[in-house]
A and B are shown apart, each in its own frame.
Chain A
Amino acid sequence: MDSVPILKIGDVLLVSIQTDLQDEAVMALQESLAERISSTGASGVIIDISVLDVVDSFAGRMLATVAAISRVLDAETVVVGMRPAVAITLVEMGLSLDGIKTALDLERGMRLLSGDGALA
């Protein structure tokens, strides 16, 4: 089973989702991300989903769960690069991802975390 790489940049963890995630991969990601946050003491998590062009309700809930876990561990989550089709699907499914910050691309996401919302 291929796992999703978690990269550390400064005190931000970058999760770049490259393929459509299977359910086990999602569970593994949640687990390893929680571990990395507490071991590195990261203050922010960026989830890049710019390659994702299909989401189902499970993937949508995964984003919300990851964000909730990060928040408990005192790290802020930013979802970046969401495609229009994905955004429309999530809204149609009624998932508004409350409490998650979003940005158009990775660069803006980084700025959002480092500037602590100064540019938001």
Chain B
Amino acid sequence: MEAGIFTRIAQLCRAREERLSERWRALVSASLGGRVPETQVDKEQREILDVLLTALALGAGRDIEAEPYAELRALLMELSRSRAQQGFSPRETAISVFALKGAVLDVFDQDGDAEAFREFVAFSQLIDELALLTFETYARAREEVISSQAEQLLELATPVVKVWDGVLALPLVGTLGSARAQVVMEKLLQTLVDTGSEHAIIDITGVPAVDTQVAQHLLKTVMAARLMGAECIISGIRPQIAQTIVALGIEFGDIATKGTLADALVLAISRTGVSVGGDLTKRGR
């Protein structure tokens, strides 16, 4: 591309920088609806405008991937990433850049000649490219937010708690998909090793539905724990789930199942060799 096509427009803008950034800020602030402090918008835009004009004055062309625009690209990506994390829509983010065109046009409106207009069209295309860059970064940043949230959810949802000396409890809440079942299994087994516990209670009171896949995961976890020298008890099977399990023909084999976490705890403690008081063992369901 021809070098220096924007040098004149850069000079014109530089001469009117104060008016230009004021107009730009007014346009953007209106679209953001006051959710970002004006002083912050002003600071961001002055910085962007300054970096942009400097690059243009140095003879940067149309290609926004070119070296002179490196700093500008970094600034815009930073801007759209922070907008994405604050929950702004991609439209609001891209408008921050597009509004510059309006601002330049408004300011140039008075003293525009044919030559300046031709330059403005090329300038406008450049701004479009820059705005698209923020859009791309925005989408990527959103995806990062989503995947990090999914990860956090995965960790939040699988606590392994020690309820007695040598007894762990794993209260499962929510749907048990393959990925989550894998995390649950690994975490339980690792905690068994770390704490030297020989008994684990898997409580499924909070699992809304048990299908063959979930049952398969449970069975695998129990088998793996057994291979390591620990016994699992499954508790919290609700009546409907018991019916589903039987209807699906799932065999829990010799795995101990108990109605409530309390019953499972009594069984686990008595297995550790501690005698449990009579009133505890006889407690009704």
Contacts and interface: CB of A to CB of B under 8 A. Distances in A.
A17 interface: no
Main secondary structure of the interface of B (DSSP, over half): helix
Interface stretch (A21-29, A65-73, A103-111): A103-111
Interface in A68-108: 79-80, 82-88, 90-92, 96-97, 101-105, 108
B58 interface: no
B206 interface: no
B189 interface: yes
Contacts of A1: none
B250 interface: no
Nearest to B190: A84
Nearest to A101: B229
Contact of B198 (A79, A88, A97, A104): A104
A119 B224 CA distance: 20
B193 interface: yes
B82 to A, nearest CB: 40
A96 B254 CA distance: 13
Main secondary structure of the interface of A (DSSP, over half): mixed
B228 interface: yes
Contacts of A87: 189, 224-225, 227-228
B223 A84 contact: no
Interface residues of B, number: 19
Contacts of B192: 84, 104
A96 B223 contact: yes
Query: What class of interface size applies to chain A in its complex with B?
Result: 20 to 34
Instruction: Name which of B185, B198, B223 has the most chain A CB atoms within 10 A of its CB.
Output: B223
B224 A90 contact: yes
Interface string B223-267: 111111110000000000000000000000000000000000000
Contact of B196 (A82, A86, A104, A109): A104
Contacts of B228: 82-84, 87, 102, 104
B273 interface: yes
Instruction: Name which of A79, A86, A104 has the most chain B CB atoms within 10 A of its CB.
Output: A104
B186 interface: yes
B196 A88 contact: no
Instruction: Name which of A86, A91, A109 has the most chain B CB atoms within 10 A of its CB.
Output: A91
A88 B226 CA distance: 11
A112 to B, nearest CB: 8
Interface in A13-70: none
Interface string B194-231: 00111000000000000000000000100111111110
Contacts of A102: 226-229
A83 B229 contact: no
A83 B230 CA distance: 12
A84 B186 contact: yes
Given A84-B193, A104-B192, A104-B198, A92 B220 contact: yes
Interface of A: 79-80, 82-88, 90-92, 96-97, 101-105, 108-109, 119
22 contacts: A79-B227, A80-B229, A82-B227, A82-B228, A83-B193, A83-B228, A84-B190, A84-B192, A87-B224, A87-B227, A90-B224, A90-B227, A91-B220, A91-B223, A96-B223, A96-B226, A102-B226, A104-B196, A104-B197, A104-B228, A104-B229, A108-B198
